[in-house]
Chain A
Amino acid sequence: MSLTREQIASIAALARLELTPAEIPVYQQTLSRIVDFIGALERAPTADVAPMAHPLPGLSQRLRPDVVTEVDRHEAYQSNAPQVAASLYLVPKVIE
């Protein structure tokens, strides 16, 4: 089963990955290979089998007490940010 250029472009858009025109056929080929390969799963007898979200069965989420444990360290955190002004992270203008 082969993925089309449009499908590759659409996946790249969803994943916010810029692909050069040269890369698209490469991804078409490799992704199609992978998709064929994982097609083997179809045969597996999984009727009535629950999906395994966690490898260790029977565990449940631990709850944390509602306590403030953090202090303001934004200067440290923003010291390696690409673009900051007035303690805000900056991105190109977004129009809503």
Chain B
Amino acid sequence: MCGITGLKPTYGRVSRYGMIAFASSLDQAGVLTAGAADAALMLREMAGFDANDSTSVDTPVPDYVATLEQPLAGLKIGLLQEFFDKGLDPENERRVREALQVYEQLGAKLTVVSLPNLPLSVPVYYVVAPAECSSNLARFDGVRFGHRCENPRDLTDLYRRSRGEGFGAEVKRRIMTGTYVLSAGYYDAYYLKAQRVRQLISADFGRAFKDVDVLMGPTTPTPAFAIGAKTADPITMYLNDIYTIGANLAGLPAVSIPCGFVQDLPVGLQIVGPHFSEARILAVAHALQRATDWHTRLPPGYA
């Protein structure tokens, strides 16, 4: 949506120690760069085991830069059927399919794969992430650091006003949602249920990767909306994440690269790989960026 390359590594590839925790089972530091080559360079420096993070995985970090130019011939690309649905803007779809044609010319084979539980990604995410966030943000209480309200009457007042004043509206909304889905009587129906559906989604990805090397699809259903245009209805805003959230839930590495413009707004193509396949997906992204120049173009007015 912003005309840049964005990479989210496999969960556990990059240490979370030092990052303000939002949703612990999803958080993963990534990079936003001008292209896959830069992303490979950055990731090579960022990735690695950290003893301070219990969820950090101890596997060697490959030289992502050295493998960027691996040939694509025979690459099996799975097109996520659930993403090419009526929610996808037809112009966005056209740009994405143009990019896919380039991959075919480079020797890749396209197949359609179905991940039937994938459409539930957004509701799953909007239970799990707020729940974990509501707990992670409890430490912001005005006691040891951060904003403290003026003249607290008592402890409860200290907590309520410091936190009420210190957090922005969307954060408070997520804390409220998260507190609700974890609360007594709702935990089973929401949090536990969402984590079970998450298992289903992850299993869908696992099954797909038996037949294909990478999965591809549009990054967003529509071009970018204007700032402030959709904040009234949270759900409409959340639904923009519909294509990318699945990879987060399954902890999979994914990269989004520009593949053209719709009404001067950039369109993104996402590439998702199995766990720890960053070298592969970066090379695949890089291949498109060698064969085309969408990632270097700026819309008129921004040059």
Contacts and interface: CB of A to CB of B under 8 A. Distances in A.
Contacts of B90: none
B143 A31 contact: no
Given A31-B177, A41-B120, A56-B57, A92 B196 contact: no
A81 B162 CA distance: 14
B234 A30 contact: yes
Given A30-B173, A30-B234, A61 B196 contact: no
A64 to B, nearest CB: 7
A61 B202 contact: no
B233 A46 contact: no
Interface in B21-39: 25-26
B172 to A, nearest CB: 6
Contacts of B136: none
Interface string A1-25: 0010000100110111111000000
Interface string B247-276: 001111000000000000000000000010
B127 A41 contact: yes
Contact of A52 (B123, B152, B195): B195
Nearest to B130: A34
Most buried by B among A17, A61, A94: A17
Interface in A60-94: 61-62, 64, 80-83, 89, 91-94
A80 B145 CA distance: 6
B197 A56 contact: no
Given A12-B176, A40-B123, A54-B25, A61 B54 contact: yes
A11 B180 contact: yes
Contact of B156 (A15, A16, A45): A16
B134 A37 contact: no
Contact of B202 (A19, A37, A40, A52): A52
Interface residues of B, number: 69
Interface stretch (B40-48, B186-194, B211-219): B186-194
A16 B250 contact: no
Given A11-B180, A14-B179, A56-B11, A33 B235 contact: yes
B190 A17 contact: no
Contacts of B154: 92-93
B277 interface: no
Contacts of A12: 160, 176
B161 interface: yes
B55 A17 contact: no
A45 B189 CA distance: 13
A52 B141 contact: no
B193 A42 contact: yes
B87 interface: no
B178 to A, nearest CB: 8
10 contacts: A17-B167, A18-B165, A38-B181, A38-B190, A44-B117, A44-B196, A44-B197, A52-B195, A53-B25, A92-B154
Given A15-B134, A49-B196, 6 more contacts: A14-B183, A15-B163, A16-B160, A17-B172, A18-B160, A92-B152
Q: Which 6 A-B pairs have the closest CB atoms?
A: A55-B251, A18-B164, A51-B195, A82-B148, A46-B196, A18-B160
